[in-house]
Amino acid sequence: MTVDALDQALAASQAWLLDQEAPEAVVLAHEAGADVPRTNARHWVSRVLGEQRDDGSWGGDLLRTIDSLLTIQELRTAARLVEQDPGVARAHDWIRGRRGLPGTWADGCSSDRHRQGLCHHFSGGFYSPADPDVMQPGARLRCGAEVAGDGELRFVASALALRCVLGAGREGQDDRLHLAGLRQVVRVWAENRPGDLSVGGLLAAIHALIASDHPADRDAAQAGLRLVGSKQRGDGSWVETDAFQALDVIGTAVAAGIDVDRMNQALWHGARLLVSSQQKDGSWGRDHGPRRALIGWRTLRRLAPSRLAKGQAGGQG
């Protein structure tokens, strides 16, 4: 992969995404340093909140509510918005209300899970997406990665809920218990991974651990990232997981200053995959296109020498 190819892929992804009617376009414009009005971000925050139910959720669905809140947090951070909206507080209250309800991933006990320290005798603070007798179908994360199976969805939804809460600066004792449970998952994974979790589940745990500033959580995130790194193929893809989910988590780790040199190497190999798989229009496919394009753009921008000229991006609202 040449430097020119990297720059060309970066420019093409930026041009494509800025032409989309999506919140990711506004986030990119602000992150690229373009002179765009904050009203664009406020427009999208209002648009997302417009679909919120009176109980604070989006459709009564934990994953959808988390996705909506993460989108709002991302827009607020990119545009440096300071005003608060009561809908955001209601959403956080609804999510916290799912904590400890029947149906969490840590519920129940078996000889293996007890031996591994992963059952409810050891783990607490997890969030429940639904009652235990309601089997959870497969789902797609906003990065486009698929979550298959009831157990994995319960685990991933809980880790995402924790990340959302930590991102809002709302950490409590129950969240510390949840983080301890995720650290245990990383420790167990190094020896014999839990049977109902894929590499995507491990990445969800790492993403939540990165959101904590406690040294033990950062150390566990680094250990998990090295496990994920060992599964990267020569072409930049990953065994048993979605490349965009991996790039998203690894990019977040680098931004947080975790194992930067090693993770930048993983991003560089991932960039080779991005360059070779990019569509002619600059996207990586229409399905979940804006989110995957933003992840791809962030990865390429971190590595591209030019990083595109500040202010080159145009706004969209």
| pLDDT tens-digit map of 199-255 | 999 999 999 999 999 999 999 999 999 999 999 999 999 988 899 999 999 999 999
Alpha-carbon distances of 131 from 18, 57, 103, 141, 204, rounded to whole Å: 41, 17, 5, 21, 21
Find the mean pLDDT for residues 61-79: 94
Spatial CA neighbour of 225 closest among 258, 201, 195, 197 = 258
Q: Strand locations in 96-217, DSSP E?
A: 139-140, 146-147
With a cut of 60, say whether residue 313 has pLDDT above it.
Answer: no
The pLDDT value recorded for residue 308 is 55
With a cut of 50, say whether residue 125 has pLDDT above it.
Answer: yes
Contacts of 127 (CB under 8 A, 6+ apart): 62, 95, 98, 99, 101, 104, 157, 158, 161, 162, 178
Number of residues that make up the chain: 317
Global confidence as pTM: 0.91
Alpha-carbon distances of 125 from 66, 101, 120, 163, 182, rounded to whole Å: 17, 10, 10, 13, 11
Q: Who has greater pLDDT, 304 or 86? A: 86
Cα 145 from Cα 141, distance rounded (Å): 5
3-class secondary-structure state, position 251: helix
Spans of all domains in the chain? 37-97, 102-235
Helical spans, DSSP H, in 32-116: 39-49, 62-79, 86-96, 111-116
Residue type, 212: S
Cα 279 from Cα 229, distance rounded (Å): 26
Give the count of beta carbons closer than 10 Å to the beta carbon of residue 129: 26
> What is the overall mean pLDDT for the chain?
90
